[in-house]
Structure 1
Amino acid sequence: MQTPPEFRSKKYVPVRNKIITTVGIILLSGVVGFGAGYAGSHLSNNANVTIQQQTNKSNFGTVQVSDVSDIVEKCKDSVVEITTESASSGNSIFGQYVSQGAGSGVIISKDGYIVTNNHVVSGATSLKVTTTDGTEYDASVVGKDSQTDLAVIKVDANNLQAATLGDSDILQVGDPAIAIGNPLGELGGTVTTGIISATDRQITIDDETMTLLQTDAAINPGNSGGGLFNADGNLIGIVNAKESSTGIEGLGFAIPITPAQDIITELMQNGSVTSRPALNVSLYDYTSNNQGQYSKYEDGCYIVQIVKNGAADKAGLKQNDRILSFDSEQIQSTSDVKNVLKKHKIGDTIKMVVERDSKKITVEITLQAQTQTN
Structure 2
Amino acid sequence: MQTPPKFKPKTYVPVRNKILTTAGIILLSGIVGFGAGYAGSHLSNNANVTIQQQTNKSNSGTIQVADVSDIVEKCKDSVVEITTESVSSGNSIFGQYVSQGAGSGVIISEDGYIVTNNHVVSGATSLKVTTTDGTEYDASIIGTDSQTDLAVIKIEAQNLLAATLGDSDILQVGDPAIAIGNPLGELGGTVTTGIISATDRQITIDNETMTLLQTDAAINPGNSGGGLFNADGNLIGIVNAKESSTGIEGLGFAIPITPAKDVITELMQNGSVTSRPALNVSLYDYTSSNQTQNSKYEDGCYIVQIVKNGAADKAGLKQNDRIIRFDGEKIQSTSDVKAILKKHKIGDNVKMVVDRDSKEIEVEIVLQAQTQAN
Match of 1:362 in 2: 362
Match of 1:323 in 2: 323
Q: Report the residue type matching 1:24 in the other structure.
A: K
Match of 1:174 in 2: 174
- Superposed, 1:58-73 pairs within 5 Å as 65-73=65-73
- How far did residue 4 of structure 1 move? 2.8
Q: Report the residue type matching 2:114 in the other structure.
A: I
Please say if residues 106 and 116 of structure 1, whose CA atoms lie closer than 8 Å, have aligned partners that are also in contact. Answer: yes
- Superposed, 1:18-33 pairs within 5 Å as 23-29=17-23, 30-32=25-27
- What is the DSSP-based 3-state SS (H/G/I as helix, E as strand, rest coil) of the residue aligned with 2:27? strand
Match of 2:254 in 1: 254
Distance 1:373 1:175 in 2: 44
1:109-133 Cα deviation digits (max 9, x unpaired): 0000000000000111100000000
Match of 1:56 in 2: none
Match of 1:198 in 2: 198
Q: 1:367 to 1:257 in 2, by over 3 A?
A: same
| TM-score (ref. length: structure 2) | 0.88
Match of 1:276 in 2: 276
Match of 1:46 in 2: none
Distance 1:25 1:243 in 2: 5
Please say if residues 272 and 372 of structure 1, whose CA atoms lie closer than 8 Å, have aligned partners that are also in contact. Answer: no
Please say if residues 197 and 214 of structure 1, whose CA atoms lie closer than 8 Å, have aligned partners that are also in contact. Answer: yes
Distance 1:310 1:235 in 2: 38
State yes or no: 1:223 paired with 2:218: no
Match of 1:238 in 2: 238
- What is the DSSP-based 3-state SS (H/G/I as helix, E as strand, rest coil) of the residue aligned with 2:133? coil
Match of 2:185 in 1: 185
Q: Report the residue type matching 2:156 in the other structure.
A: D
Please say if residues 104 and 116 of structure 1, whose CA atoms lie closer than 8 Å, have aligned partners that are also in contact. Answer: yes
- How far did residue 95 of structure 1 move? 1.1
- How far did residue 7 of structure 1 move? 3.4
- Superposed, 1:1-374 pairs within 5 Å as 2-7=2-7, 10-11=10-11, 23-29=17-23, 30-32=25-27, 34=29, 39-40=30-31, 65-293=65-293, 295-371=295-371
Distance 2:215 2:270 in 1: 32
1:327-367 Cα deviation digits (max 9, x unpaired): 11111110111111111111100110111122111100000
Please say if residues 280 and 306 of structure 2, whose CA atoms lie closer than 8 Å, have aligned partners that are also in contact. Answer: yes
- What is the DSSP-based 3-state SS (H/G/I as helix, E as strand, rest coil) of the residue aligned with 2:347? coil
Q: 1:20 to 1:155 in 2, by over 3 A?
A: closer
The percent of aligned pairs where both chains have the same amino acid is 85
The answer for unaligned runs of 5 or more in structure 2 is 34-58
Q: Report the residue type matching 2:110 in the other structure.
A: K
Distance 1:95 1:285 in 2: 32
Distance 2:104 2:139 in 1: 13
Distance 1:283 1:40 in 2: 29
The answer for unaligned runs of 5 or more in structure 1 is 13-18, 43-58
- How far did residue 20 of structure 1 move? 10
Kindly report the root-mean-square deviation, in angstroms, between the aligned alpha carbons of the 2 structures: 2.3
Is the strand fraction higher in 1 or 2? Answer: 1
- How far did residue 88 of structure 1 move? 1.5
- What is the DSSP-based 3-state SS (H/G/I as helix, E as strand, rest coil) of the residue aligned with 1:267? helix
1:189-233 Cα deviation digits (max 9, x unpaired): 000000111111111111111110000100000000000000010
Distance 1:172 1:300 in 2: 39
Please say if residues 289 and 295 of structure 1, whose CA atoms lie closer than 8 Å, have aligned partners that are also in contact. Answer: no
| TM-score (ref. length: structure 1) | 0.88
- What is the DSSP-based 3-state SS (H/G/I as helix, E as strand, rest coil) of the residue aligned with 1:293? coil
Distance 1:33 1:251 in 2: 24
Distance 2:373 2:251 in 1: 32
1:175-196 Cα deviation digits (max 9, x unpaired): 1100000000000000000011
Q: 1:329 to 1:322 in 2, by over 3 A?
A: same
Q: 1:131 to 1:184 in 2, by over 3 A?
A: same
Distance 1:76 1:104 in 2: 12
Aligned length: 347
